[in-house]
Amino acid sequence: MNETFIERAYGRVNLIGEHTDYNGGWVLPTAIPQFTEVTLTKRKDRKIILKSSKDRYFSYELGNEKHKGSWVDYLQGATKILAAGKHRISGFEATIHSTMPEGSGLSSSAALEISFLKTITKAFELNLSAVEMARIGQQIENEFVGARVGIMDQMACSLAIIGEALFLDTYNLTFEKIKLPLDQMDLLVINSGISHRLSAGGGYNERRAQCEEACSILEIKHLRDISIEDLQKKDLPELLMKRARHVVTENARVHEAVLSLKNSDLIYLGELFYASHRSMKDDYDVSIPEIDLLVELCSLDKMTFGARLTGGGFGGSVVAVTKNGEADRIGQAVTAEYRMRTGIKATILS
């Protein structure tokens, strides 16, 4: 009987630092309990058979990967890139099981990529580190899927663990693990029930292009390279100034959030969450009314320190920091009120 190889990768919620990763900035994600798991058995030919626990099936020949515009592209991209990198693999059968809701803004695609790469690495004894797998995951999205994402999600799915935040410099990939003061706080993650899409040609790629245009005018490589004081002195078109202002101020908020966590200053951390959400809504234009409503409903409870849109936007989820022991009560109240007002069922994920 063929040996079976099983690996999993957990999803992530980004505490703060949104749309900063592809600008060479800083991010602060942490792992969530939801995961994607891959079970793999090797074949002696070059055929690859992919099965999903959601009754989805796809097969192709190694070396004959073709863009399909569906979930299999993340896996086809992996085998194509591995082969191009001279990593020796053969055909295999893989079954994918996931507890992560797609389109929730919690890195379901990155968890799929990393769990798949971890399983292939183990099965074929490849010499790939967690950071190398993250780089390949980003390459899959950029070159095969067509989404010009940064590397935060893949790094988080490779390295983040529950109970710790990953303070990551996405420019040089240095990181520090920050312990969350869970004796004083809870994390509440609510999926709005509105799926987001970071597909090629969508709002995500448009925002990235706008940031690159701003950098070109400012004559800098990344938006991390300018302070908010210097940015305010520059003459940028209004739209590009808004985009740049979000990124520059968001980078500063990440650093302040790290200090807040280290000092267990949850009140200030909550203020940073609200400021981040306002910036994503007003300057980056990636929030939607339903997400704004969830943030507002969370804020009405005095046991909530702060709440914000998490993920790329255009739908997805919110993350809130609450007083320890209060997240479930607040989540139940918020999702009930949200459904009454919108008719949409939101789900509590953490």
Provide CB contacts within 8 A for 235, sequence distance 6+. none
> What is the C-alpha separation between 128 and 333, in angstroms, rounded?
45
153 noted as active-site residue: yes
Q: What phi, psi does 78 have (nearest 5°)?
A: -65, -50
Strand-pairing partners, residue 10, are 35
Residue 65 and residue 79 in contact, taking contact as beta carbons nearer than 8 Å = yes
Chain CA centroid to CA 95, Å? 23
φ, ψ (nearest 5 deg) of residue 258: -60, -45
77 near 143, Cβ under 8 Å? yes
Sign of the CA dihedral with 283 first, then 289, 294, and 299 last: positive
Return the DSSP state at 24.
Answer: T
From residue 27, alpha-carbon distances to 109, 119, 183, 257 in Å are 18, 27, 23, 10
Q: CA 254, CA 27: separation in Å to the nearest integer?
A: 6
SS (H, E, C) 96-134: EEECCCCCCCCCHHHHHHHHHHHHHHHHCCCCCCHHHHH
DSSP string, 270-310: HHHHHHHHHHHHHTS----HHHHHHHHHHHTSTTEEEEEEE
Q: Which of 21, 45, 55, 153 is flagged as catalytic?
A: 153
Residues noted as catalytic:
153
